[in-house]
Structure 1
Amino acid sequence: MASQHVLTKVIPPLNFACVEEGLYRSAGPLSLNLPFVSDLNLDTVIWMASEDPSPDFLTWIRANGIKFLNFGIGEITAPWSPDVEINVTAALQALAEASNGRILVTCTMGRHRTGTVIGCLRRLQNWSMTSTFAEYRRFTGGNRHRDRVIEELHNIEQFDRRSIQLPEMDDRQPWLKEAQI
């Protein structure tokens, strides 16, 4: 008798990308994305939306012993409101800490709020503004949100890298070893 093979569709979440080794970005995973996300062997999820993640995603996080850090922010305006700046800075602090291991940065659609955090991370990594902006735009869905994109790119450009206290080298994520503030 031939053995039956169960095929599981492996479907990444919307706007998924590998940012650095062990650091990923995406929209909030749906139930159909969880087999894919499971293969990432995450240690931490950084949630950037003011809305709660789906109940299935939260249940999956708890069931897998994954640390859930909620830095939820609403709509981003230029200049940043103090609450938004505090939460983006806190998310970046969490990204920098090696103890958080493999990380997924996510929000509802994985575009603007997630993109802002990743854009500010690129500033910490001393990327050029051109490269940082190109990466940000790749995930924002074209010109539908033109005014919002302009505001967020302004915030990324104005981000004060000195607001981040990077951990000591031994406690820092490998992709931030070269960062100097």
Structure 2
Amino acid sequence: MSASAPGFNQRLRQLGPRQRQAFMATLCERLLPNYALYAENSGHGDVRGLRVILDLVWESLAVREAKIDFERQADKLAELEPPADDDSFGARRALEAVVALSALLDTLRGDAEEAVFEVSLSSRGGVRAFIELSEGEEDDARLAELVRGHPLMEDEQAFQGEVLDSVERHPLDRDTLKALRRLGRNDGISNLGLSLDDMA
């Protein structure tokens, strides 16, 4: 089932807290290259800092007794946002990665039931914005149709569906978490089909 299928959000709602966190962490992995590209192009940001925080999330999922101060990590994450006055396309996509990871940290610091929907929508929203930018279509109805049928959006919907299937069907042991992480890393290619290799 893809993220566009009826009942997708209901299935997200029925996940347990750890399942939601694993779902969000996997989506965050796929957003990371967008942040890395922005940092590389603009000189702003610290992809290593973002990587460390996400690694700590995976550690907390794999090692139940891990003692990690996620309040402190949230403070560090806030410092990694693109400058507020940068309204470029790259900055907005980098901010999506930070905001998604921030929503994930919210769930580790307390109860944040809506965070999983925020991350899901944010990832799809970035894909939509990228398609709108690249297609340059001004007719709203035509653009909506283009977005729906675009290979990048189809890939995003299928990816989210695959992640949801995995967290629903498998116990979140080390092997499953490793598989999810690998799935999210997607050979370094983001949800926009971009990677640092594109700059070479």
Normalising by structure 2, we get a TM-score of 0.28
Please identify which structure carries the higher strand content: 1
Please identify which structure carries the higher helix content: 2
Normalising by structure 1, we get a TM-score of 0.30
Q: Which has the higher contact order (CA 8 A, sep 6+)?
A: 2
